[in-house]
Chain A
Amino acid sequence: ILNVEQSPQSLHVQEGDSTNFTCSFPSSNFYALHWYRWETAKSPEALFVMTLNGDEKKKGRISATLNTKEGYSYLYIKGSQPEDSATYLCAPGEGSSNTGKLIFGQGTTLQVKP
């Protein structure tokens, strides 16, 4: 089973600050990388699904990059807002795209202070 590490575990920033998180995983036997945002009392929601080395995805102020050769992904939030406060989960897929499984990290919890 992939060992997925997310850092930092938690983060407190001021409104307007930009921030980034890291997701690290073994680079072999991998087929995709998912990022989810999980707000308190809500369901986790998908942010990005990336499959190719060098993939960069963007949604508003949030973007992500993927390096499959070295086994990491970065999530960036530009100009953090209080509504960005949530736990951000990364989930690499282990195995093949037809039979593999998502392995979730423990998450990075972001608190944005107004």
Chain B
Amino acid sequence: DGGITQSPKYLFRKEGQNVTLSCEQNLNHDAMYWYRQDPGQGLRLIYYSQIVNDFQKGDIAEGYSVSREKKESFPLTVTSAQKNPTAFYLCASSQGWTGSTEAFFGQGTRLTVV
């Protein structure tokens, strides 16, 4: 089945640790995105990539880093610089940019700092 796979589903991190969230897609999509969801808020864009080896900061990139070495993969690292990392993280992809094309989403990773 084609789709987006995020792992792990749940992740616990100690304060001061970096942690990496995985996102893999087999849809052959060029563009990939990371969003964060907090209670009562809409999805907010962290980072996005329109093509391999290129990525851009979204609206809330501070404390996060990404890489796009392969078309299929767009991992997100939550660094110790992220002040409030506990949240639900969604990865998405689209064929081309999200203008007239829909985004496809993974099932998310819930990160909790303990």
Contacts and interface: CB of A to CB of B under 8 A. Distances in A.
B102 A89 contact: no
A4 B98 CA distance: 17
B45 A101 contact: yes
A106 B108 contact: no
B44 to A, nearest CB: 8
A18 to B, nearest CB: 25
Contacts of A101: 45, 48, 58-59, 98
B102 A46 contact: yes
A32 B103 contact: no
Nearest to B37: A104
Given A4-B42, A34-B98, A101-B45, 14 more contacts: A1-B59, A32-B98, A34-B103, A41-B107, A91-B42, A91-B43, A97-B97, A97-B100, A98-B97, A99-B97, A100-B97, A102-B98, A106-B41, A107-B42
A104 B97 contact: no
Candidate in A34, A43, A99, A101 with the most chain B CB atoms within 10 angstroms:
A43
Interface residues on A, range: 20 to 34
Interface string A68-99: 00000000000000000000010101001111
Given A102-B103, A104-B43, A43 B4 contact: yes
A93 B107 CA distance: 22
Contact of B99 (A42, A97, A103, A107): A97
B107 A42 contact: yes
B40 interface: yes
Interface string B38-77: 0011111100100000000011000000000000000000
A93 B102 CA distance: 11
27 contacts: A1-B59, A32-B98, A32-B100, A34-B98, A36-B105, A42-B107, A43-B4, A43-B90, A43-B105, A43-B107, A43-B108, A44-B103, A44-B105, A46-B102, A49-B102, A51-B99, A51-B100, A98-B99, A99-B97, A100-B99, A101-B59, A102-B103, A103-B42, A104-B43, A105-B42, A106-B40, A106-B42
Contacts of B85: none
Contacts of B17: none
